[in-house]
């Protein structure tokens, strides 16, 4: 098996891409990889098959962090990340520097003005502009035919789909179901911020969501979920919403497919999760 390529600049990535005449699937990450990311990379390998190429980007993107968020403290275990990429079957890893991705006087960004105003966008102003800009840059550097995004951040997935549609990127966006721990907690790099006691409580969020989703009306689902999560010691609710799966607009009934989406602070960690609300004819 050929050695995994390490691409440290945009120029190097473009030279590498010129020599490839095959499907290329990109798995964008910010590093601190866990078994959820490994599952994404393995899924990418299935998409392209044995003759295609899997590229993983590892870049902690400063433009999607708010002024009070954890950019400087965000974990960067590069050696472990590279080992995870290799084990999962990546052919190349893109490791750009901040000054290669962003000029000192950069003044052009990519924004989304509809979906990004909802859910996490309300409490994280500017976040999705940073996401759109860096993903567009990654797409231009790697020029993938496919890109894999996890469903754990459903809003991000919806926004990237919209960006690809509206800007006519020739890229197929491949969703991948949320990877969970054995107790139901969604796998996330930020789970590392939980204390042992908080980690023991965290699965109660998903349990509350699953129980709420058994109800019929979106309003009753949200109310039940809010009551249950408010009983978790130390939990602070950012939002709990039932939304249309495509538009992220509030779900008024179950005649269209929806998602139950939550963001909850538990200690230092801000945990997000979502589950499907299937259409009820």
CATH number for the domain that contains residue 234: 3.30.1300.10
CA 59 – CA 30 distance, rounded (Å):
5
Q: Residue 117: CB partners within 8 Å, gap ≥ 6? A: none
Q: Does the annotation mark 206 as catalytic? A: no
Residues 96 and 130 grouped into a single domain: yes
Residues 148 and 211 grouped into a single domain: no
Work out whether the CA dihedral 25, 27, 33, 35 comes out positive or negative: negative
Tell me the pLDDT tens digit for each residue of 7-21. Answer: 999 999 999 999 899
pTM: 0.96
CATH number for the domain that contains residue 138: 3.40.50.620
Look at residue 1 and tell me whether its pLDDT is greater than 70.
Answer: no
Distances (CA, A) of 231 to 119, 224, 244: 22, 11, 27
* Position 181 in a domain: no
Distances (CA, A) of 232 to 190, 200, 218: 19, 11, 22
* Position 280 in a domain: no
How many structural domains are present in the chain? 2
* Position 107 in a domain: yes
Residues 79 and 165 grouped into a single domain: yes
Enumerate the H helices of the chain as residue ranges: 10-18, 35-48, 78-88, 98-101, 120-123, 127-142, 154-166, 196-201, 203-212, 218-230
Residues 38 and 152 grouped into a single domain: yes
Enclosing domain of residue 170: 5-176
Tell me the pLDDT tens digit for each residue of 192-224. Answer: 999 999 999 999 999 999 999 999 999 999 999
* Position 253 in a domain: yes
CA 229 – CA 226 distance, rounded (Å):
5
Which of 34, 35, 37, 127 is an active site residue?
37
């Amino acid at each position: 098996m050929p050695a995994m390529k390490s691409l440290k600049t945009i120029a190097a990535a473009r030279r590498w891409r010129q020599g490839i005449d095959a499907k290329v699937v990109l798995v964008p990450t910010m590093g601190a990889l866990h078994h959820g990311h490994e599952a994404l990379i393995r899924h990418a390998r299935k998409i392209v098959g044995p003759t295609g190429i899997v590229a993983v980007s590892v870049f902690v993107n400063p433009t999607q962090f708010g002024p009070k968020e954890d950019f400087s403290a965000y974990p960067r275990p590069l050696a472990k990340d590279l080992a995870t990429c290799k084990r999962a079957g990546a052919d190349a890893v893109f490791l750009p520097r901040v000054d290669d991705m962003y000029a000192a006087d950069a003044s052009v960004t990519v924004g989304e003005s509809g979906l990004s105003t909802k859910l996490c966008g309300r409490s994280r102003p500017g976040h999705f502009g940073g996401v759109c800009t860096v993903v567009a840059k990654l797409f231009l550097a790697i020029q993938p035919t496919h890109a894999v995004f996890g469903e754990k951040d459903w809003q991000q997935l919806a926004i990237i789909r919209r960006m690809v549609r509206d800007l006519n990127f020739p890229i197929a966006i491949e969703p991948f179901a949320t990877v969970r721990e054995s107790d139901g907690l969604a796998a996330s790099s930020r789970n590392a911020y939980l204390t042992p006691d908080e980690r023991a409580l965290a699965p109660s969020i998903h349990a509350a969501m699953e129980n709420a989703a058994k109800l019929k009306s979106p309003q009753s689902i949200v109310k039940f979920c809010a009551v249950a999560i408010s009983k978790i010691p130390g939990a602070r609710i950012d939002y709990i919403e039932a939304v249309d799966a495509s538009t992220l607009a509030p779900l008024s009934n179950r005649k269209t497919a929806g998602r139950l989406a939550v963001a909850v602070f538990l200690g230092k960690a801000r945990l997000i999760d979502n589950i499907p609300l299937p259409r009820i004819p």
